[in-house]
Amino acid sequence: MGTLTPQQSDAAQGKAHGAKRVRLVTPRAVLLGLALVPLNAHWMMVAELRWYLILSLNPLFVTPVFCLFWLALLNLLLQRFAPRFAFTGAELLTIYVMLVLSCTVATHDYIINLMATVGWAAWFATGANRWEQIMFPHLPQHLLVWDRSVLHGYFLGNESLYSAERLLPWLAPLAWWAAFILVSFFVMFCLNVLLRKAWLEHVKLSFPIVQLPLAMIAPDAPTRFFKSPMMWAGFSLAAGIDLLNGLHELYPSLPHFQTRARRLEFTEPPLHVLHGQPLALYPFAIGLGFLVPLDVSFSLWFFYVFARAQIVIGYTLGWLGIRDFPFHREQGIGAWVTYGVLLLYGARHHLREVWRVAWRKTVTGCEAERSNALADDDEPLRYRFALLGAVGGLAFLVWFWMKAGMSPVPAAVSVAAYFLLALCITRVRAEAGGQHTVWDLEPKNLFMLFDSNLLGPRNLAGAAVSHWFWRLNRSHAMPAQLEAFKMAQVQNVPTRQLVLPMLLAVLVVIPAAMWACLHIGYRDGSLAKCVGFARWCGVESFNWLESALNNGFRLEPIRWQAVGSAAAFTAFLSFMKMRYTWFPFHPLGYCIGPGSVWTWFPFLLAWASKLVLLRYGGNTAYRKAVPFFLGLILGDYIMGASWSLYGAARGVMAYQIFH
């Protein structure tokens, strides 16, 4: 990273891309990021585990935006009164990226799920459920904690973690899982390196997630973003609503304006079969939706309605008696696999050139020009190292699950499915930016397409134990990494300089998040006082395994028909979208739309607002409106984070902006 001072970093070395000077990452930015990462992890665990104040279930995480906002305001003062100590854009970017990566580990949908899984089987085994006889022989012994006396304090609280007899039994299982997390993140990083230019420079994706942080660290932010009346209007509206609603939580006699989801209950057939549909007005989701291309935002809410319509039609035709109709899970499997395969197929020429550059094959003519354009000198890693790292990491992960008891083919299929879905979610986030709930491809669901007797109990046990990191995929690391590369590209920061800060952030946050979960659990009791403990993850994992071992399941052709139909429909949508620009449906909408439970209505409102603005005001009106919608996101996040800090500090259930 060098030893440049912050004042030198923007002008250092005189290098330029176009008219922009290269901006360098500095040691003080990395050190500040490393100091904030464990604090952020503890904040997240107190908020989400202890009080269920959700901060990380949306692709644009709350706490990094909160920290960046105050750092940017501090920087305005430094630029005016102490310019020598002011942060550069590259430094603010570095800190933000490190905090974002910490949120992909220390989060409701990742580490909290893991900590629920590790001790669940031993604690909830009873003579009545006979888990010791039917389940324990097939579970991976080295990945779980088995001593009930150790688990007593974790689940019920009022004990100290800091004794050898309590701490040591956790170390080996958590070390295995830490290795799994680190290798998984490294494989994602390598895959992002291989696809970065294809998705950032060739396709030109919209990346709505990065628009707000980029606006706050842009060189003209002091005069453009932070002095924008439209931005502050949106900020004041969202923050004012959250302030009012938060005060209402504390003093119910005060009025409030509900933005969190209401459940729509229908009493008359045929809509009564929908069983309460969420209808939300989240300001942050409306703001994000406004930044999304119209065809994508339209497809997202349309296919949510389309999925619900299938249930209504099924009731009308008398098909709801068929178990699991309309097979949304199987439709998701077909859609995501097809979308992922099509993404790889679309990148085939780019990947072929990556291979040639990686192994330095001699090429001539047009091929030489393409290879020169694809030189990996400016990539985070050399292509050869990224290829070897991806292959080696994938091999380790297959071995990891084989050691956990899975057979080679199911283990390989599970790993391949996870990273295929990671590619899909990365692309979806880069285009749609919306909150998603995706778990269709996880082994628990894939294996249900086959006969349980063919799979065997150890593969079923592996599927159950893997559920924690598959569940919903709302805080996924791979898109966060690519978004960091996108921000670096816009800010003209060499992506290779982000490798060490990103690696250090993950290395620090893994033990920090695990410790925070254990500390809070032994103090307050995961099942006693922790409102956000992932009970659902333990129930979903081990109750499913109990049923699979006791009752089994068989191959059902109708499920495969649903998979095939969804695959064909996704391929049709992709063909039409590529062939005809007027075609209104985007294939990613069919993939992500059915799971957009909480954000479908905000995206509908954002789509309608943007459509009207573009139709009657053109691009000029749209550009003028963008700061207002960025302000909606920022105001919602700043006040939401402030309420979470208030709740954590006072030890009370405070207002949260989501769910």
The per-residue pLDDT for range 23-49, each reduced to its tens digit, is 788 999 999 999 999 999 999 999 999
Written as six digits, the tokens of 524 are 């307050």
Supply the pLDDT for residue 393.
Answer: 98
What is 562-617 written as a DSSP string? HHHHHHHHHHHHHHHHHH-TT----HHHHHHGGG-TTTHHHHHHHHHHHHHHHHHH
Element (H, E) at 295: helix 294-317
**Taking the model in full, what pTM does it have?**
0.94
How far separated are the first and last CA of the chain, in Å rounded? 41
How far apart are alpha carbons 63 and 28 in whole angstroms?
20
Tokens at 220, concatenated: 């003209």
CA–CA separation, 143 vs 147, rounded Å? 13
Is residue 348 pLDDT above 70, yes or no?
A: yes
Cα angle 503, 507, 509 (rounded to 5 degrees) comes to: 115
In angstroms, rounded to a whole number, what is the distance separating the alpha carbons of residues 424 and 251?
44
The pLDDT, as a whole number, for residue 206 is 87
Two tokens, residue 331: 């439709």
Asked whether the predicted pLDDT for residue 86 surpasses 60, the reply is yes
The verdict on whether omega for the bond into residue 270 sits within 30 degrees of 0, i.e. cis, is: yes
- What does the pLDDT read at residue 101? 97
What's at 87, amino acid-wise? F
pLDDT of 373 reads 53
What mean pLDDT value characterizes the chain? 92
In the block, tokens 């294809």 appear at 198
Q: Please, which pLDDT band fits residue 21 given cuts at 50, 70 and 90?
A: low
pLDDT tens string 181-209: 999 999 999 999 999 999 998 887 889 99
SS3 of the chain: helix, strand, coil, percent, to 5 = 70, 0, 25
CA angle 406, 409, 414 (to 5 degrees): 70
CA distance 17 to 562: 50
For the cut 90, the answer to whether the pLDDT of residue 212 exceeds it is yes
Q: Is the CB of residue 234 less than 8 Å from the CB of residue 627?
A: yes
Cβ-based neighbours of 644, under 8 Å, separated by 6 or more: 43, 47, 51, 53, 55, 62, 654, 656
| Whether residue 177 has pLDDT greater than 80 | yes
How large is the average pLDDT for residues 398-426? 97
pLDDT at residue 490 greater than cutoff 50: yes
Name the pLDDT band for 20 (thresholds 50, 70, 90): low
**325 residue type, one letter:** F
Model confidence at 10: pLDDT above 90: no
Both tokens assigned to 102: 């910490």
Q: How many whole angstroms separate alpha carbon 530 and alpha carbon 264?
A: 29
Instruction: Please report where in the chains the tokens 């992709």 appear, as a residue.
Output: 574
DSSP state letters, 35-84: HHHHHHHHHHHIIIIIS----SSSSS-HHHHHHHHHHHHHHHHHHHH-GG
Instruction: Give the separation between CA 606 and CA 282, rounded to whole angstroms.
Output: 11
Please report how the helices 27-45 and 89-105 are oriented relative to each other, as an axis angle in degrees rounded to 10: 30
pLDDT of residue 198: 92
Q: What is the pLDDT of residue 23?
A: 73
Q: Residue 530's Cα: distance from chain center in Å?
A: 23
Pairing between strand 20-21 and 262-264?
unpaired
Identify whether the C-beta of residue 274 lies closer than 8 Å to the C-beta of residue 266: yes
- For the segment 629-641, the average pLDDT, to the nearest whole number, is 97
Contact residues for 71 (Cβ-Cβ < 8 A; gap 6+): 87, 92, 95
142 band by pLDDT with thresholds 50, 70 and 90: very high
The pLDDT of residue 626 is: 97
Residue pair 629/234 in contact (Cβ under 8 Å)? The answer is yes
Confidence of residue 403 (pLDDT cuts 50, 70, 90): very high
Q: How many CB atoms lie within 10 A of CB 354?
A: 25
Q: Please, which pLDDT band fits residue 350 given cuts at 50, 70 and 90?
A: very high
Q: Contacts for 268-275 with beta carbons within 8 Å, 24 or more apart?
A: 269/315, 270/312, 270/315, 270/316, 271/312, 273/311, 273/312, 273/314, 273/315, 273/320, 274/308, 274/311, 274/312
Q: Indicate the residue type of 405.
A: G
In the prediction, which pLDDT does 8 show? 44
Instruction: Give the pLDDT confidence of 373-393 residue by residue, as tens digits.
Output: 567 888 999 999 999 999 999
Beta strands in 137-247 (DSSP E): none
CA neighbor of 599 nearest in space, from 483, 477, 484, 474: 474
Statement: residue 140 has pLDDT above 50 = yes
Of 36, 188, 26, residue with least CA distance to 99: 36
pLDDT digits (tens, 9 = 90+) for 510-548: 999 999 999 999 999 999 999 999 999 999 999 999 999
Lowest mean pLDDT among 122-126, 530-534, 548-552, 651-655: 651-655
Tell me the pLDDT tens digit for each residue of 545-602: 999 999 999 999 999 999 999 999 999 999 999 999 899 999 999 999 999 999 999 9
The tokens for 493 are 């920061």
Tokens 């989501």 belong to residue: 658
Which pLDDT value is given to residue 497?
94
Q: Which residues touch 13 (CB under 8 Å, ≥6 apart)?
A: 22, 24
What pLDDT was estimated at residue 361? 55
> Got the DSSP string for 95-160?
HHHHHHHHHHHSSTTTHHHHHHHHHHHHHH--TTTTHHHHTGGGS-GGGS---HHHHHHHHH--S-
Is the per-residue pLDDT at 276 higher than 50? yes
Q: What is the pLDDT of residues 424-465, one digit of tens each?
A: 999 999 999 877 788 899 999 999 999 999 999 999 999 999
- Other beta carbons within 10 angstroms of residue 398's beta carbon come to 20
Residue 658 confidence (pLDDT) above 70: yes
Nearest-CA neighbor of 644 among 636, 653, 635?
653
> Stretch 332-356: mean pLDDT, rounded?
95
